[in-house]
Amino acid sequence: MESRSSKFPQVIIIGGGFGGIQIAKKLKDKEVNVLMLDKHNYHTFQPLLYQVATGGLEPDSIAFPIRKIFQKQANFKFRVANVTQINTESSSVTTSIGDFHYDYLVIATGSETNFFGQKEIEHFSMPMKSVPEALNLRSLLLQNFEEAVIEKNAQAKQAFLNFVIVGAGPTGVETAGALAELRNHVLPSDYDEIDFSKMKIFLVEGANRVLPPFSEQASYKAQQFLEEMGVTVLTNTMVDQYNGEQISFKNGDVIPTKSVIWSAGVKGAIIPGLEHAQIVRGGRIKTTDYNLIEGYNNIFAIGDISYMETEKFPHGHPGVAQVAIQQGQQLAANLIRIINKETPKPFDYFDKGSMATIGRNKAVVDLKFWKFQGFFAWITWMFIHLLFLVGFRNKLVTMMNWIVNYFSQDRGTRLIIRRFNRKTMKEDIAID
Ligand SMILES: Cc1cc2nc3c(=O)[nH]c(=O)nc-3n(C[C@H](O)[C@H](O)[C@H](O)COP(=O)(O)OP(=O)(O)OC[C@H]3O[C@@H](n4cnc5c(N)ncnc54)[C@H](O)[C@@H]3O)c2cc1C
């Protein structure tokens, strides 16, 4: 076990996502030692993963090295490590590089794709939760066009040209819109042998409208935008099976397709060892109103992994970046209160609103007292995303990419850097 180097308490944060980064930053100059463990050496800006998958942005623009974020923070240390076990009796965590002792443990591991136990769907469909997964998807999409060019059989060719996105939350809607823009403006000049009127994009949703958590006005407008762009929206439609060749639905419909993008749900990224913790809806860990995991006095959970019932949110908070950010900030202050034997303050989420973009000049924004759609919403969406992207270089490169894409109607990164191979690459990511 790595030895302790100071009289100050050791705070281990598992996960350098939105929540983990915030709590570590807020602990700067406090009388604690912070050790962050993450299986990647970078922070991922997940809201823009779909742009990496559809050739709009390079992966480097949406990822940022964690060590660089904390270069000037003397009480911060970082290790690339996959945490595999929490040992509450010895107050330590077991990782791929050894064990580490903690006085306070913060679990900020986020969530992972939920296939709801459907192994075949998990094997054949494409998730989009990490940079490697987005790059796999980008390769697969482009490989399918290369296959479609050489395929002689019309039926087999159509399966390469049908794209099915399951789940019409923000990720599904944004991905469907980005694919439609590729079809309408970009790909026809690359592949003049393909008849792009045959490229079909289906967005499938079990609920009765797209963007179910948004206002009805936003859902209605988003669907209208998508349909104008040529996306077929199938609401009230539940997936039954997908075998890599065709997807079937509970209503008996079938679509032949080589590409199913799965954005239908997430579940908490649980690490074993918390025997007293309650794992509730969506595989999240139940906490008190100041993020303490019930059953423990020094283990906390923030962000997507945490489930906190409050008067305003009786079924827990939404799994969005703002919740993770605000919980991280609040828990930093509470940890100092706890160390100083003061009473921690309850978390009160300030909902700043929701937004999703569908394409060029098309977005929807729901604020508490104002809901708007179209060009101004799209500008707002871009501004907010640039604001929250980590790192000046990333902000600049992303903004330049968006400006060039806007005027050229092009996407610069249509590259198959490494071929996607379902068997080997899915195993890579599972181990990762
Ligand atoms: C495609 C996509 C689009 C999204 N779009 C939006 C959006 O537009 N707006 C919005 O508000 N939210 C959006 N979200 C949700 C938002 O990204 C999450 O709510 C947010 O990332 C949660 O932050 P977190 O800190 O809880 O976890 P994360 O940001 O997911 O970070 C978790 C970190 O933990 C690390 N980790 C996990 N397990 C381990 C382990 N065992 N050992 C070591 N490290 C581990 C991971 O590598 C990761 O770095 C989107 C999510 C996705 C996937």
Please report the domains of the chain, with CATH numbers, ordered by start residue.
10-39+81-113+267-339 (3.50.50.60), 119-264+416-431 (3.50.50.100)
Token duo for residue 80: 């690339």
pLDDT at residue 2, rounded to an integer: 58
> Strand, coil or helix: what is 356?
strand
pLDDT at residue 202, rounded to an integer: 98
Q: Name 130's Cβ contacts closer than 8 Å, sequence gap at least 6.
A: 40, 44, 49, 429, 432
pLDDT at residue 240, rounded to an integer: 97
Closest-lying ligand 1 atom to the alpha carbon of residue 303: 26
- Residues 179 and 54: their CA atoms lie apart, in Å, by 7
- Residues 13 and 296: their CA atoms lie apart, in Å, by 16
Within the chain, which residues score under 70 in pLDDT?
A: 1-5, 425-432
Pocket test for ligand 1, best of 12, 13, 18 (most atoms within 8 A of CB): 18
Q: How far, in Å, from the CA of 110 to the mean position of ligand 1?
A: 5
- Residues 44 and 17: their CA atoms lie apart, in Å, by 7
Read off the pLDDT of residues 170-210 as tens digits, 9 standing for 90 and up: 999 999 999 999 999 999 999 999 999 999 999 999 999 99
- For ligand 1, atom 38, which residue shows the shortest CA distance? 109
Query: Strand (E) positions, 278-429?
Result: 279-280, 284-286, 299-301, 306-307, 354-359, 362-366, 371-373
Q: How far, in Å, from the CA of 114 to the mean position of ligand 1?
A: 14
Ligand 1, pocket residues at CB < 6 Å = 14-20, 37-40, 46-47, 49-50, 82-83, 108-110, 128-129, 170-171, 269, 271, 303-305, 319-322, 324
In the 3-class helix/strand/coil scheme, how is 10-44 assigned residue by residue? EEEEECCCHHHHHHHHHCCCCCCEEEEEECCCEEE
pLDDT at residue 316, rounded to an integer: 95
Give all strands of the β-sheet with 200-204 in edge-to-edge order: 231-234, 200-204, 162-166, 259-262
Q: Name 72's Cβ contacts closer than 8 Å, sequence gap at least 6.
A: none
> Strand, coil or helix: what is 60?
helix
pLDDT at residue 412, rounded to an integer: 78
Report the Cα 35 to chain-centroid distance in Å.
24
pLDDT at residue 409, rounded to an integer: 86
The residue type of 84 is T
Q: How far, in Å, from the CA of 305 to the mean position of ligand 1?
A: 9
Q: How far, in Å, from the CA of 44 to the mean position of ligand 1?
A: 7
- For ligand 1, atom 12, which residue shows the shortest CA distance? 320
For helices 392-408 and 375-388, what crossing angle results, to 10°? 150
Contact 84, 271 (CB under 8 A): yes
